[in-house]
Structure 1
Amino acid sequence: MTKYEAALEYGAYALVLTDRDGRLLHRWVRNPGLAAVMDGIGVAAGTTMDESTVGTTSLVAMLTGRPEMIRGPEHFSEKFRDFSCSSAPIVHPVNRRLLGSVSLICRLGDTAPIMLPWIIEFVGAVEDALRARASRREQRLLDAYTTHNRDARRPVVALDSSTIITNAAAARLLGGVDQSLLWEHARRSLVDRSTGPSTLTLPNGEVVTVDCRAVSSDEHDSGAVLMLRSAAPRRRGEGSSAIAAQSGELPRLVGRSDSWQTLCRQAAGVRGGTSPVLVTGESGTGRLAVAQALQGWHDVRVIDAADASSRGRKKWCRDLASELDGSGVSVVIRHVDLLAPPLALAAVAVLRRASPVRLLGTAERAGVESARHNALMDSFVSVLDVPPLRDRLDDLPVLLAAFTDRASGGRADLEWMPETVQALSRVDWPGNLSSLDALVRRVVAGRSTGRRIGVADLPPEYLTRRARRPLASLEQTEAHAILAALRAAGGNKNQAALSLGIARSTLYRKVRALGLDLSSTVY
C-alpha cells in the first residue's frame, strides 16, 4: 500500500480528479460517511465544479496555475462551507498543456496543514508518470520506425497525435504536409482495420499509396507506421492547393478523395465542350456547381424544372426560350427528371428552335433509371455522377476550410481540430454538402472568440447523429433533448436531469440505452 492509498484508507479524505474544464471525472473515497455527504451535495462523477458554476473553490488553481487551498467559509457556495479542499493543476510535462486538476477534500474539522504539500507531491508523481509514459510512447514509436526503415530510398513515417518521425525520402515526398492529415488517415485505417494499401491525395495534388501498420495492438492510438509510395507522377503545373481548378478540371471546387478525383478525370473529357451533359447525384451533392464548373462558370444560365408546375407549361417554356437567347451561352436545366413527359417534349421543341448552345442538366438519376420516360433526358450524350459526401470523407478537411472561408467572407482565421473532423466523419449526412455547409455557417456565425473549432463547438444534434447506433426519429428527439440539457448545464448531469424533469439515474440509463458517447464531449 502506497502512502497515498494509506491516506485515503485511514483518513476521512476524498481524492477528486477533474478535467481542465472542472468536470469531475473520478472520485476516490474510502470513508462511508464522507462518501454519503459528498453524494448529498452532488460531488460525484459528471458534476461540473468550475468557478462559473459553483463559485470559488480550490479549482481556482487551474486559473492561477499554482496549488491552492480553500477552507470552509472561503468557499463561495454555502453547501461547501463545511469542507476544506486543496487542489493543484495537472500540466502535461511534455507539451505543457493543462490537463485538469487533483483535489484532496475533507470536512472542515479534519483540515490539516499537510493537505497542500500532500497534493503537490501527489501531482508531482502523476506528472512523473505522464513523463515516463510519454518517453515510453516515443521510444516505442522510434523502435517501430527503426524496424521498418530498412531501405532509405523508401518513404517511411512513424507518427501519433503529437510526434512524427520521417526519413529523408518521406520528407521530400511530403514537403509541408500537415501532420494532422497523415494522423487522421492513419487513425481511420486502424479503426476500420483496413488491410492492404490505401490511397491518399496530398494537398499538392500528388496521390500516394499508404501501407498503414499499428505500432501496438494494445492501444488504438499508440501510433502507426506509414510506408508510402508515389501512386502517379505529379502533373506539371499543379500547385500547393487541393483545389481541383489547379489541375485544370473543375475550377472553384475542392476535393482530394479517390471518388472526387475519379469524377474530375471523367469531367476532363467533357469540360468546355459542346455536347449535352447530365450531372446526376443525390440531393445536396453539388450537381449544379459541377455543371457550372464544366463551363468554367462563364455565362452559364440556370433554369429550374421544379418551377414548371407553379409557373405553368407555357410560361416555363417562354422562360427557357429567353435563357437560350444569346450566342456562346450555356444553359443548365436543374431537376430535369421532375419534368412531366408532355413538358419534356415541349422543352425539346424549344431547344431545337433555339440558336446552338451547350445544354447541361442535373437530376437524381439518369434517364434509363427513371420511373417514367422523359424525352429531354434522351438529349444528353454524357452522364457524370457526383459522389455523395459519405464517399468523400477524406475531403472533409478541405471542404470545411472552403466553406469556412466562404461563410466568413475570408476574414476568419478558424481551424477545425482533427478530433472535430473525425467526429464529423462519423455523422450521417443525408443532405450531403448542403448539410455540411449549413453546419459551417452555423458554427462560424456563433463564434466570438478563439480560432480552434473543437467537438464542443458542434451543435448538440450533430453529437446525437454520431451516436454509436442509428436512432429512430423519436430517439433522435430524446437524444437531442438530453444533449441540449447537458450543454445548458455545462455538463452537470444532476442539473441536466432536473431541467428534464427526470432522476439522474434515469438520465444515465437513457444515455446508455441511446448509445450516446459523452466521453469525448467537452461542455
Structure 2
Amino acid sequence: MNDWLRTAAKARDDIFSSSLDVSTHSSSVVRPTVYESWRRSRLQGLAPEAVSPVEFSEIELDNYLSRTVTSIVEKRAAALDQSACALVLTDRDGNLLRRWVRDHEMAADLDTKGVAAGFTMDESTVGTTGLVTLLTGRPELIRGPEHFSEKFKQYSCASAPVVHPVRRTLLGSVSLICRVADTTPLMLSWVTDLITAVEEALRARACQREQRLFEAYTTYNRDVRHPIVALDMTTIITNAAAARLLGGVDQTLLWEHARRSLRERRSGPTSLTLPNGEVLSVDCCPLSGQDTDAGAILFLRKGSAPRRKTEAGVLPKPSVLLPGLVGRSEKWRSLCCQAHRLRNGTSPVLVVGEPGSGRLAVAEALQDAQAIRVVDAIDAAALGDGRWVQHLHVQLEEPTCVLVIRHVDSLEPSTAVATLAALRRTPPARLLATAQRRSGEPAAHNALLDHFESVLEVPPLRERLDDFPDLLARFSEQVSGAKNSIEWTPEVVQALTRLEWPGNLNSLKTLVRRTVTGSCATKIGTDDLPPEYVARAARRQLATLEQIEAQTILQALREAGGNKHQAALALGIARSTLYRKIRALGLDLSASIY
C-alpha cells in the first residue's frame, strides 16, 4: 500500500504540473476515471491546495431520500459502531444531507474540512472525490492521493449512486469514508449492499404511494360524470370525464397548480387556465396534511370559479369591466368588480399597488371623460410648493377636467396640505390618484391621502398567473403593432409563471419587447426567450450564482446549435458534467429548438 501511495502521489504531481492541453496520459497508476475528473477540475479553475466544501444554507436536509436512507442505516448501526468510518449521504447535486460517524476524532477532522451536512462537495466545488459516482453512474473507490484536494489525501472514499427503482432517475449517493491505511475493496461491497437495501425501500414506498393515490381516486370517483384527477409529482390518474376536459394538458401544469394550492393552504375553488384558453374551476384536496408532495385530488368544473356576490349583485363579465385592460384571474376580476361600481362617478378614488402593477392604467380606466390630466407628485420636490400648486392650477383650467395624481404618497406633508388647498379652491370634475401599497403607516402624515373616499388595490403579477396568456397577447400587439399575429406557446406561458416579477407588468412588457422586437417568428417558444429568463424559469428556485450558471449553459447550447458535446467543450467541462448540471438546475430543454 505504501509503495502504491508513493507511486500515485508522484504520478499526481507529474500530471498536475503538466499542461492542460495534454488530453491523454500513459500512467498505469492513475485510472482513466480519476484522470478525467482531475482534468475537468483543472479546466474549471480549481487548485488542489485551495478548494474546500461550500456551505449551502438552502438545502432541505430532511427530505424523502434522507428519511429513507436513515431508516436503512439505523439497521446497520452496529457495523459503523465497530469501525473507524464515516457514512455520508448526498443528493444528486453533491450536497451533503446526512453524516453518520462514531469515531470522535474523525468526526472533528471532517468538520474542519467541511465534510458535514449542509455543505456541497460536487466536482465543480472540490474536484475529484468519491462523488464522481454521480457522473459515472457506477460505484467508485477513490483512494488517498486520487482525491483532487490536498485536504482529503489521508482518506479513502467508496461511493455508489442511488437511483430511483421506478423512475430510474438519479437521487443522490452514499459514501463510506475511512483513513487510507484502513482502505479495503470490501468497502465498495458494503456500500453497494446498502444501496440495494435503500432502492428496495424506495420501491416499496413508491408502490405504497401509488396504492394510496389509487385508493384515494377510487374513494372519490363515485360518480364518473364528475371530472376528478388524482396526482402527485410522478403519477396522474383521471376518470374519463376529466380526460375529455383536459385533453393533452401537461401533468406538470396540473401538479404545479396543485402544489401551489396546497402550499398556500387555499380553501375553496381556484381558477386554472388551460393552454387553449379555457378556464376551469379546481377544488384541491390534499392526500396528506403534512406532506405537500404526497399528492392531491382535484375536482374539476368547466367555467371560472364561483363568482362572488357583491353589493351590486353578481360579478359582471370581464369584457364590460375596465376598458382597454385584460385579465381573467380571480384577483383581477375581484378588482374589476370593485372598479365597475366606481366608474364614471365623482367621488375621489385612490389606486394602490406595487410599482409596475398597472395602477395608472386602472385609474385612467375609471373615467370615460376625454379631458384626463395626469401629473406626477414626484415633480413637486423639484418644483417647490409654489410652482407645484401653479402647475396644478394650469391643469385645472378645464372645468370638466379629471385629474390623476401619480405617486401621491411621495408628497411631503407641507406640499400635501398645499395641494389639498389648491384642489379645494379649484376642484376638478373628479380626483383620482395612485400610491404604493404600504405595509404600515407612513413616517409623516400625508393629509391628501385622507381625502379619498375609496381605495382600490391592484394585485401584483405573481397573483395573476392565469392572466399571462392575455397579457402576453396584449403586450405583443402593442410592441409589434399587429393584432393576434404572435402566439406564445403553452410551454412558454408555463415557464414564465414560475418566475418572480419584481417590476410586475413593466418587467413582463420588457421581456415581450426583447423577444418580439426584430423577430419574424409568429410563434414564441422557449428557444426564443433570452437565456437568463429560461434559466430563472427552472423547475426549482435557483440561487443567483445558479442563475448565472444556467444562463451560461443555455447560451453555450444556443451557440452550439443544441449540440451538447460542442457546448461542453466550449464550457470546458465533460459532457456528463453538462448533463448533470442541466438536471441539477432543472432546465427544461425538451421544448427548445436550436
| Residue equivalent to 2:270 | 199
Q: Does residue 98 of the first structure (1) align with residue 170 of the second (2)?
A: yes
- Corresponding residue for 2:5? none
Q: CA offsets, 1:183-222, max 9 Å, x none?
A: 4554455456666x33335354636252x33324564431
SS at match of 1:104: strand
For residue 223 of structure 1, the aligned residue among 273, 287, 295 is 295
Is the Cα contact below 8 Å between 1:330 and 1:359 reproduced in 2?
Answer: yes
Equivalents in 1 of 2:432, 2:291: separation in Å? 51
Deviation of 1:149 after TM superposition, in Å, equals 0.5
Q: 1:255 to 1:168 in 2, by over 3 A?
A: same
Provide the C-alpha distance between the structure 2 equivalents of 1:127 and 1:299, rounded to a whole number of angstroms: 72
Mean Cα displacement is larger for which, 54-63 or 85-94? Answer: 85-94
C-alpha distance after superposition, 1:39-91 (max 9, x if no partner) = 45442222322223222112122123333221111111122112221222223
Give 1:141 shift. 0.6
Report matched runs for 1:349-498 at 5 Å.
360-363=432-435, 383=454, 385-387=456-458, 389=460, 394-395=463-464, 434=503, 447=532, 450=535, 452-453=537-538, 454-457=540-543
The answer for the alignment partner of 2:143 in structure 1 is: 71
Q: Deviations over 1:369-422 (max 9, x none)?
A: x988769957x8xx4511555xx864357679979x99xx9999697699x77x
User: What is the distance in 1 between the residues matched to 2:169 and 2:372?
Assistant: 52
State the match for 1:316 in structure 2: 388
Aligned to 2:313: none
1:81-120 to 2 correspondence within 5 Å? 81-120=153-192
1:149-228 matches, cutoff 5 A: 149-174=221-246, 179-180=251-252, 182-184=254-256, 186-187=258-259, 190=262, 197-202=268-273, 204=277, 206=279, 208=281, 210=283, 212-217=284-289, 219-228=291-300
Instruction: Give the distance between the partners of 2:446 and 2:151, measured in 1 at CA.
Output: 71
Q: Give 1:6 shift.
A: 5.7
Structure 1, unpaired ranges of 5+: 236-243, 425-431, 461-520
Tell me the distance in 2 between the aligned counterparts of 1:42 and 1:371.
53
How much does 1:18 deviate? 0.9
Give aligned-pair identity as a percent.
46
Counterpart of 1:208, as a letter, is S
Check whether the contact 1:72–1:83 (CA below 8 A) recurs between aligned residues. Answer: yes
SS of residue matched to 1:362: strand
Mapped contact 1:329–1:358 kept (Cα < 8 A): yes
Matched, 1:343 2:343: no
Measured after TM superposition, the shift of residue 104 of structure 1 is: 1.8
Match of 1:56, SS? coil
Q: Matched residue of 2:379: which SS? A: helix
| Root mean square deviation, CA, Å | 5.2
d(CA) in 2 for partners of 1:84, 1:58: 8
1:267 is aligned to 2:339: yes
- Normalised by the length of structure 2, the TM-score is 0.56
- Distance in 1 separating the partners of 2:337 and 2:125: 55
Counterpart contact for 2:88–2:176, Cα < 8 Å: yes
2:210 — aligned with what? 138
Shift of 1:137: 0.9
Cα 1:397–1:60 change in 2 (3 A) is: farther
1:266 deviation in Å?
A: 3.3
Unaligned stretches of 5+ residues in structure 2: 1-71, 308-316, 438-443, 480-487, 512-528, 547-584, 587-594
Q: Is the 8 A contact 2:329 2:465 kept in 1?
A: no
Equivalent residue, structure 1, for 2:560: none
Looking at structure 1, the residues matched to 449 and 148 of structure 2 have their Cα atoms a distance apart, in angstroms, of 76
Q: Secondary structure at the match of 1:221?
A: helix
What one-letter code is carried by the residue in structure 1 that aligns with 2:535? G
**Contact in 2 for aligned 1:277/1:360 (Cα 8 Å):** yes
The residue type paired with residue 100 of structure 2 is W
TM-score where L is the length of structure 1:
0.63
Residue matched to 1:428: none
Report which stretch shifted further, 308-317 or 74-83.
Answer: 308-317
Give the distance between the partners of 1:35 and 1:416, measured in 2 at CA: 43
Provide the residue aligned with 1:513 in structure 2.
none
CA-CA distance at 1:279 after TM superposition: 3.7
Structure 2: distance between partners of 1:449 and 1:201: 23
How far does residue 133 in structure 1 lie from its aligned partner after superposition? Answer: 1.7
Look up the match of 1:129.
Answer: 201
> What SS does the aligned partner of 2:293 have?
coil
- How far apart are the structure 2 equivalents of 1:255 and 1:233? 11
Q: Is the 8 A contact 1:71 1:84 kept in 2?
A: yes
- Residue 329 of structure 2 corresponds to residue 256 of structure 1: yes
Tell me the secondary structure at the aligned position of residue 38 of structure 1. Answer: helix
Q: Distance in 1 between matches of 2:200 and 2:404?
A: 65
Distance 1:160 1:375, change over 3 A: closer
Distance 1:58 1:329 in 2: 75
